[in-house]
Amino acid sequence: MGTNSLKIFDKVPNYFTNHKVGKPPQNRSIAELLDLGIINLDKPANPTSHEVTAWVKRILGITKAGHGGTLDPAVTGCLPIALGRATRALRILLSAGKVYICIMKSHFPISREELLSILDNFKGKIYQTPPLRSNVKRRLRVRKIYDLKLLDHCDAQLSLLKITCEAGTYIRKLIHDIGLLLGTGAHMQELRRLKTGPFSEETCVTLQDLRDAWYYYKMEGNETFIRKIIQPIEIICQNLPKLFIRDSAVDAICHGAALTLPGVVRVTEGIEPNSLVAILTMKEELVAFGQSTLSTEKILTLSNGICARTNTVFMEKKTYPSMWKTS
């Protein structure tokens, strides 16, 4: 699945999962993927993100889907769309970092050197008030610009910028503020999102790709193309710290129980108290998200106690047999 980008440590060496229950994410049926999958859609210009999501539902004949981060109608690029129960994971995408490529037009000519000197002022923490037409409360807030590169500058007014930023950054407002500091004024002429969380432009598919793949599946029984488009929800956990648990602990977590240390088989680096963690089976199936109570080091060295409290469950109850007792 490739969901493990962090180093993994064994707490219980040589543990073997029961292959008669559960299944690796890549072995799910198409029906299961429609309820627990994500599509990395290349949003076209003009329709709203909500309209595009509605079209995806219509093509697939499903009733529940949601997008991971609104793009304005004119903006194109990565728009992850979660299907069915996978919509519960959208908060992870909404808070994930973003990468954009933008054409900025200054209202008067400027030199490359002038622009470069100004751009340095917008790296790091910036202050923004959401624009009037935004759907959030208009109050001053801090956002972080991780990187701001000038890729090209031509005819003294058009500039191509690549922006890596924190979620919730308004690029149109950023360009406006750059124009103010330049003294020329500037506006965003075109914008494309290249990346959001683990989803990048390289793996985007178009609505036409989706429609064609669904036709081949429904009319010819060919699953090849639709399987390349609908990715298991576990891809969303790629950069999250993880806890891998025993088969015997799975159903308790599905019922919302806290995860105790005896149920942990493996753990990744990067876990700190109060951090968001993904709880997975040994087959790499996402069971739930939780809030950690211990660090990776403590989880590996202690033998008893709670290590995470469940907050969002994805796996259906009874997927694994119940092996826990209720009082």
What torsion do the CA atoms of 52, 54, 59, 60 make, to the nearest 10 degrees? 120
- The greatest distance separating any two alpha carbons of the chain, rounded to the nearest whole angstrom, comes to 75
How many distinct helices (H) and strands (E) make up the chain? Answer: 9, 17
Q: Which of 269, 268, 270, 288 is nearest to 278 (CA)?
A: 288
Helix, strand or coil for residue 226?
A: helix
**Which of 164, 161, 166, 141 lies closest to 150 in space, CA to CA?**
161
Instruction: HSE, CB side, 13 Å, CA atoms: give it for residue 112.
Output: 8
- Return the residue matching tokens 């240390």: 261
CA atoms of 199 and 94, how far apart (whole Å): 12
For residue 216 the two structure tokens come to 């081949």
Structural tokens at position 205: 């598919």
The closest alpha carbon to 130, from 77, 184, 170, 88, belongs to 170
Q: Is 72 a catalytic residue?
A: yes
Instruction: Give the Cβ contact number of residue 10 at 10 Å.
Output: 12
Residue linked to tokens 């076209």: 44
Contact 34, 60 (CB under 8 A): yes
Question: Which residue, among 242, 245, 226, has the nearest Cα to 234 in the 3D structure?
Answer: 242
Catalytic, out of 35, 72, 177, 212: 72
Which are the catalytic amino acids? Answer: 72
